[in-house]
Structure 1
Amino acid sequence: MELDSKTELYYLGHDLSLRDCTLVIRVPAKALVISKAQLINCTIEAKRELKGYRWHSAILKGCRFSGAFSGCEFGRWPYAREPELGGIEDCDFSEARLEACVFMGCDARTLKFPSWPCFTLLDPVRRKDELLALQWPGTMRITVESFVEGPPETAAVTYFAPTVAKRTGTTPEAIRAVLDTLPGVIL
């Protein structure tokens, strides 16, 4: 299924189940609604960067993601009107580029995250004191402060080191040097 119209709003929802499908997304987040739907063993390809999309009302099981995702939220969001409608498990993001993506209310051990230069911090809110005690390069501490203040259900956050480095006045290598000292990081 290709979602590529420049004028249409795509709505996938209410009791929709997609199984073993390929979903090609070429539209911005504002043109996409996935609500009360299940995507099982699907391939989800973002052909343009998907920014700020909240997958709160979708159940994602065994899906494979590729392309760029920025500021996206996956899983069971505790503040959603119907949090039970969202979930994520057994999904593979190894072919995706994730920047500032959050995984909520899930078991992050069932997910496969992208490798460096992406990095994933597991259970960041519960590890707040440990993460804030580190000497982060540039102004990266501000980024760390932003994600450790999230809901306790935050299972993981994933960032793209070159983007973080540019935004915080440092280098990916300096970020990596700190991350290499931490447990609970996927590089």
Structure 2
Amino acid sequence: MRIDNQKLVDIALTLNDPDHNVLGPNLYIESCQLYSHASTSSLVIAGVTMTDCTFEQIEPLLNFHFENAHLINTSFIGTYDGCDFGDWDSNKRSSIKDCDFTEAKVNNSRFINCDMASIKLPSWPIFSIINPCNAHEYVIGQDWPGDLGIDLDVITDMPAECSAIIMNAEKLASDNELSITDIYYILSNIPGFKTSL
């Protein structure tokens, strides 16, 4: 399916084509509910502005870049793992602001060139590291249990354009044989660490 060159207001859209779900170019979606069954390979964003919408990802979305998309005051539901929001080079091409992820499961996902104060994130065990590049020197200078140091090295070794990286502490704890309580106290010392309990 392909939706382009129009403005849609206050309707429900279901993205369930197994091969191609193309949004754009010149697509403006306002106050709509989007239900996406699309996979990384079948979802294509070719130019969309989404305002005051709800985007519900029914199947987990893995390693997807919301490029060529302007996401404004939109709520995200579902699982997003390894996803990027925003643009490395120009906010004229992609941007995100005033969006709500409190009902989403987010892991290993980056928010790029954006104001994180405008983004609502899930509560613990989801956490963020704001401006992760500023935490990298601290991370590589510490002794960490298990392979946690390797994980933290990777997630803080980011360009300055990365405003935040969002991680799931349960996965880090499981991978490193730590309790969720222990990993909270370990992570809370990292510069830029942020979560809500």
Does TM, normalized by the shorter one, top 0.5?
A: yes
Within the alignment, does 1:101 sit opposite 2:113 as a pair?
no
Residue of structure 2 in register with 1:23 after alignment: 34
Deviation at 1:163, TM superposition (A): 1.7
Deviation at 1:183, TM superposition (A): 5.1
The alignment's C-alpha RMSD in Å is 1.7
Larger radius of gyration: 2
Residue of structure 1 in register with 2:15 after alignment: 3
Residue of structure 1 in register with 2:23 after alignment: 12
Residue of structure 2 in register with 1:175 after alignment: 183
| Alignment deviations for residues 17-57 of structure 1 (CA, whole Å, 9 cap, x no partner) | 11111111112111001122111111011111111110121
Residue of structure 2 in register with 1:39 after alignment: 50
Aligned positions of 1:1-187 closer than 5 A: 1-5=13-17, 7-78=18-89, 84-182=92-190, 184-187=192-195
Unaligned runs of 5+ in 1: none
Mapped to 2, the partners of 1:23 and 1:136 lie a distance apart of 42
Deviation at 1:182, TM superposition (A): 4.1
Describe the shift of the 1:22–1:136 C-alpha distance in structure 2 as closer, same or farther (beyond 3 A): farther
Mapped to 1, the partners of 2:85 and 2:151 lie a distance apart of 19
TM-score, normalization by structure 1 = 0.90
Identity %: 28
Unaligned runs of 5+ in 2: 1-12
SS in 1 for 2:35: strand
Describe the shift of the 1:138–1:59 C-alpha distance in structure 2 as closer, same or farther (beyond 3 A): same
For the Cα contact (< 8 Å) 1:136–1:175, is it kept in 2?
A: no
Mapped to 2, the partners of 1:14 and 1:52 lie a distance apart of 22
